[in-house]
Chains A and B, each alone.
Chain A
Amino acid sequence: MKIYILIILTFLSIDVFAQEQLKGIVLETSSSKELPLQGANVYWLNSTIGVITNEDGTFSLPYKFSYNKLVISYVGFKTDTITVTESKFIKHVLKASDELDAVTVTSRKQATSKSYLKATNTLFVSSDELLKAACCNLSESFETNPSIDVNFADAVSGTKQIKMLGLNSPYILITTENIPAIRGASQAYGLTFIPGTWVESIQITKGSGSVVNGFESIAGQINAELVKPSTDNKLFVNAYAGVNGRLELNTHINQKVSDKWSTGLYLHGNLRNQKFDRNNDTFLDIPLKEQINVMNRWQYINGEKGIVSFINLRYLNDNTQSGQMDFNPDLDKGSTNLWGSEINTERFEVTTKLGYVNPEIPYQSLGFQTAFSHHKQISYFGLNLYDIKHNSFYSNLVYNSIITDSRHNIKTGLSFTYDHYDELVNTDIYERTENSVGGFFEYAYDDLDKLTMTAGVRLDQHNRLGFFITPRLHLRYTLWGKSALRASVGRGKRSANIFAENQNLFSSSRQINISNSGGKIYGLDPEIAWNYGVSYLQGFNLFERKADVTFDFYRTEFQNQVIVDWENPFEVNFYNLDGESYANSFQLEFNYNLFDGFDIRTAYKYYNIKTDYNSGQLEKPLIPKNRVFANASYETSIKENESQWKFDATYNWLDSQRFPNTDLSSVQLRLPEYSPTVGTLNLQITKVFSSKFEVYLGGENVTNVRQPSPIVSADNPFGSNFDTNFVYGPIFGNMYYAGLRYRVK
């Protein structure tokens, strides 16, 4: 025992006595002689440790491994920041400056950041991050992010599907500026309707979100903040061309109308009119596409009265054609000559936001949001017809204030939503109206130190989901410096739009069956799930460089789920969950700044997702159990002429994925139980010429990994085995692109 004490004491004493001192001298040049400078400030950057030099110009201050930038300043001299890597004697000469210079502390803004203080597990993605992989729309902007999985939905639509915690996008609440944006009819393709350049930043929250935005979120929330007329560039142009025949053009024009009003016109057009069939299965590898997307934003700011307002008008027209190479819609539509598909979408949207902050009492504010959208999709997939019209109205009134003092914040308000769906599925018409009125109350506590908490509850009266309570709770506790331990729990409820969300299944010969259980949505019951999560974030210094590590574990348990069962190769069955269904997700993430300008981000993920199907408990199909993600980015320092190079590489490895059961198919069309593993690598180089102009060049899937024959029974598309949904990897292979950005501030 004594020995232990001795050892401990020895370590303690080392800690106490081993504090190194950094010694040095500060000099000035006076009539070409170096003279000691008395009274100069010497301190460690971003610390509280500093001293003033003595009469002989010398100084001595504690040195720690974690410090590396020493700032030396004196009035009338240029402030210098020098890098110190060991506690060696320092001799530094300060240069006189004619005018007083401010210390230019250039701390590089992180492209993605995690808050140590927020109660929710939120990742903030800035526009810089979005530029890392020249993404053209929101669905492609998550490629450099490990929290979101990006998968192909099917082999024909070319749409990328996102997943969080192993659950697909219907379980994620996707909002633009906190207004629910991608839901209902736009669920499947909505992410491709938001051009990447319109996005200013993205916040990704894992776990149940805030009750303020409704009751629908289950796995998490993704909020996209759009660019604002008052802060965006006066003129911005982004042009993109890919070897897969994709051309995109984005133009932003912003104008100040008066001292309070600003307006912006955002135009986006994309075109893909070249046909490719690299795997020779007679099907297009990527669909033909045309999209016109226009947004006009109006922003009103009145600082004196504390009023901020936004009005957005949007119009979208999106046409997609896919199927066999020679398919001609005019001749072959509705026939069995050739298999083809067209999806034509038209969408109109008006959203408004009004915010009022009491100028007398700044903690009181009132916000009112409304959104109206009209969505019309006319489509066919071979001989399957699918049309959907969705009119939606959303409004939310939020009042913010405090109880006793600003450590206790409250948010309360009312919301009203209305949705009308009108669908045609082959010969069946499904029409329904959903409306709800709800009230919410959220209390947030911040002890200004270690603890923050958000507890919210909402009550909703919904014509189909009934009257129900949605509780949500988030906690954050800081155990010690630069750490955050979080926990969350919450409930979510939603009506599953079974056709809109699973449109990919129309691109098969499957028979659609709905087991009517007398529920109010297609005869099915609403989905209800509880989500529990814990996460731990620790920031630290490794070899004097910033690093952080995050562990998180989330479990989603469904009380009811609408099961999409395609375990029979000739059918797709929709029915209510009978038994258990859960999704466990574990993620380990490590981020490190290896040297100036070079950041690495790595993640490992493990999923365990099981559902009780009618045929027994099975792993969810087409979800890899293990996933490894790595991203490296390097930026050279900005030169005086504002030029800079940026490099970015992302590697993704996916474990084998379970294929739905194909035992009933004929032997030659049966698939193995599991897919092979896939690894893809994306690269991008950006050359910044000035703050006005930059050029980028990139490659997706540069190692040219391909799923050899993604379509089952491609040679007999009207036969009973035809299916395009067994997709686990890239179809097109490697793809290179180039583009430019031009901006006038």
Chain B
Amino acid sequence: MKKVILIVALLVTSITFAQNKNAKASIEVDGVCGMCKDRIEKVAIRTKGVKSAVWNIDTHELKLIYDERKTSLTTISKNLASVGHDTKEIKATEEQYQSVNPCCKYRDEDVKKDHKNEKGNGR
């Protein structure tokens, strides 16, 4: 009986202490178009530990499912910045930002305006 309790206790604690394998998060990533979407999702999914990444053009929301034991939002944000995309946590450096395609220059008001029209076009 004791053994059973021990096992149960062990299981319970291990569950409590185990970090979430399927942690869900939603972070804001700056970007403007379908090309940005491609770039954002690719770099996110290529981060070890990220299981699913879906970015929404309209809301700038990146929905993530990731293994907390293997990665963190900071790592993901860093990787996003490395390809030129800003998150709340980490801003891309000017150099990194310049690496994005001219039409994806989301910091540029004109480019933003350009893409406003595309919204809801299913891009």
Q: Which positions in A face B, CB cutoff 8 Å?
A: 39, 41, 43, 48-50, 52, 73, 75, 79, 102-103, 105, 360-363, 402, 404-407, 448-449
Contacts A39-B110, A361-B65 given; indicate if A402 touches B103 (C-beta within 8 A). no
Separation of A234 and B92 alpha carbons in the complex (Å): 51
What interface size band does chain B fall in?
A: 20 to 34
Contact present for B114 and A75 (CB under 8 Å):
no
Residue of B38, B42, B114, B121 near A50 (CB, 8 A) is B114
Contact flags (1/0) for B94-113 with A, using CB distance below 8 Å? 00000001111000001001
Contact present for B52 and A363 (CB under 8 Å):
yes
Minimum-distance CB pairs A-B, first 10: A48-B103, A103-B117, A406-B52, A405-B51, A41-B114, A448-B42, A48-B101, A52-B110, A363-B52, A405-B45
Q: List 5 A-B contacts (CB under 8 A).
A: A102-B117, A361-B65, A402-B51, A405-B52, A406-B51
Q: Which residues of the other chain, A, contact B65 by a CB distance below 8 angstroms?
A: 361, 363
Q: Which residues of the other chain, A, contact B22 by a CB distance below 8 angstroms?
A: 360-361
Contact present for B52 and A41 (CB under 8 Å):
no
Q: Which residues of the other chain, A, contact B68 by a CB distance below 8 angstroms?
A: none
- In chain A, what residue has the closest Cβ to B22? A361
Contact present for B113 and A75 (CB under 8 Å):
yes
- In chain A, what residue has the closest Cβ to B108? A52
Q: Which residues of the other chain, A, contact B45 by a CB distance below 8 angstroms?
A: 405-407, 448
B61 proximal to A (CB < 8 A): no
A52 to chain B, nearest CB (A): 5
Contact present for A41 and B113 (CB under 8 Å):
yes
A42 to chain B, nearest CB (A): 10
A364 to chain B, nearest CB (A): 9
B73 proximal to A (CB < 8 A): no
Q: Which residues of the other chain, A, contact B53 by a CB distance below 8 angstroms?
A: 406
Separation of A241 and B119 alpha carbons in the complex (Å): 45
B50 proximal to A (CB < 8 A): yes
- In chain B, what residue has the closest Cβ to A103? B117
B89 proximal to A (CB < 8 A): no
Contact present for A360 and B24 (CB under 8 Å):
yes
Residue of B102, B104, B110, B119 near A41 (CB, 8 A) is B110
Q: Which residues of the other chain, B, contact A48 by a CB distance below 8 angstroms?
A: 35, 101-104
Contacts A48-B101, A48-B102, A407-B45 given; indicate if A102 touches B51 (C-beta within 8 A). no
- In chain B, what residue has the closest Cβ to A75? B113
Q: Which residues of the other chain, A, contact B58 by a CB distance below 8 angstroms?
A: none
Separation of A75 and B121 alpha carbons in the complex (Å): 18
Separation of A105 and B118 alpha carbons in the complex (Å): 9
Separation of A463 and B41 alpha carbons in the complex (Å): 47
Q: Which residues of the other chain, A, contact B35 by a CB distance below 8 angstroms?
A: 48
Separation of A407 and B42 alpha carbons in the complex (Å): 10
Q: Which one of A49, A73, A406 has the highest number of Cβ atoms from chain B below 10 Å of its Cβ?
A: A406
Contacts A41-B110, A361-B22, A448-B42 given; indicate if A102 touches B120 (C-beta within 8 A). yes
Contact present for B52 and A404 (CB under 8 Å):
no
Contact present for A73 and B52 (CB under 8 Å):
no
Q: Which residues of the other chain, B, contact A448 by a CB distance below 8 angstroms?
A: 38, 41-42, 45
Q: Which residues of the other chain, B, contact A406 by a CB distance below 8 angstroms?
A: 45, 51-53
- In chain A, what residue has the closest Cβ to B102? A48
B62 to chain A, nearest CB (A): 13
Contact present for B121 and A105 (CB under 8 Å):
yes
- In chain B, what residue has the closest Cβ to A401? B51
Given contacts A49-B102, A363-B52, A448-B38, 13 further A-B contacts (CB under 8 A): A41-B110, A41-B113, A43-B103, A48-B101, A48-B104, A73-B114, A103-B118, A360-B22, A361-B52, A404-B51, A406-B45, A407-B45, A448-B42
Contact present for B113 and A362 (CB under 8 Å):
no
Separation of A49 and B111 alpha carbons in the complex (Å): 11
Contact present for B117 and A73 (CB under 8 Å):
yes
Separation of A50 and B110 alpha carbons in the complex (Å): 11
Separation of A196 and B22 alpha carbons in the complex (Å): 45
Separation of A404 and B48 alpha carbons in the complex (Å): 8
Contact present for B120 and A405 (CB under 8 Å):
no
Q: Which residues of the other chain, A, contact B42 by a CB distance below 8 angstroms?
A: 448-449
Q: Which residues of the other chain, B, contact A405 by a CB distance below 8 angstroms?
A: 45, 50-52
Contact present for B117 and A79 (CB under 8 Å):
yes
Separation of A532 and B104 alpha carbons in the complex (Å): 43
- In chain B, what residue has the closest Cβ to A40? B110
A359 to chain B, nearest CB (A): 11
Q: Which residues of the other chain, A, contact B24 by a CB distance below 8 angstroms?
A: 360
- In chain B, what residue has the closest Cβ to A51? B102
Separation of A105 and B114 alpha carbons in the complex (Å): 14
B101 to chain A, nearest CB (A): 5
A705 to chain B, nearest CB (A): 45
A77 to chain B, nearest CB (A): 11
A647 to chain B, nearest CB (A): 29
Q: Which residues of the other chain, B, contact A75 by a CB distance below 8 angstroms?
A: 113
A81 to chain B, nearest CB (A): 12
Contact present for B121 and A362 (CB under 8 Å):
no
Q: Which one of B35, B50, B52, B54 has the highest number of Cβ atoms from chain A below 10 Å of its Cβ?
A: B52
Q: Which residues of the other chain, B, contact A52 by a CB distance below 8 angstroms?
A: 110
B88 to chain A, nearest CB (A): 23
From residue 1 to 58 of chain B, which have CB atoms closer than 8 A to chain A?
A: 22, 24, 35, 38, 41-42, 45, 50-54
Separation of A48 and B36 alpha carbons in the complex (Å): 12
A55 to chain B, nearest CB (A): 14
Q: Which residues of the other chain, A, contact B117 by a CB distance below 8 angstroms?
A: 73, 79, 102-103
B42 to chain A, nearest CB (A): 5
Q: Which residues of the other chain, A, contact B113 by a CB distance below 8 angstroms?
A: 41, 75
Q: Which residues of the other chain, B, contact A361 by a CB distance below 8 angstroms?
A: 22, 52, 65
Contact present for B114 and A402 (CB under 8 Å):
no
Q: Which residues of the other chain, A, contact B103 by a CB distance below 8 angstroms?
A: 43, 48-50
Separation of A406 and B103 alpha carbons in the complex (Å): 27
A75 to chain B, nearest CB (A): 6
Separation of A360 and B52 alpha carbons in the complex (Å): 12
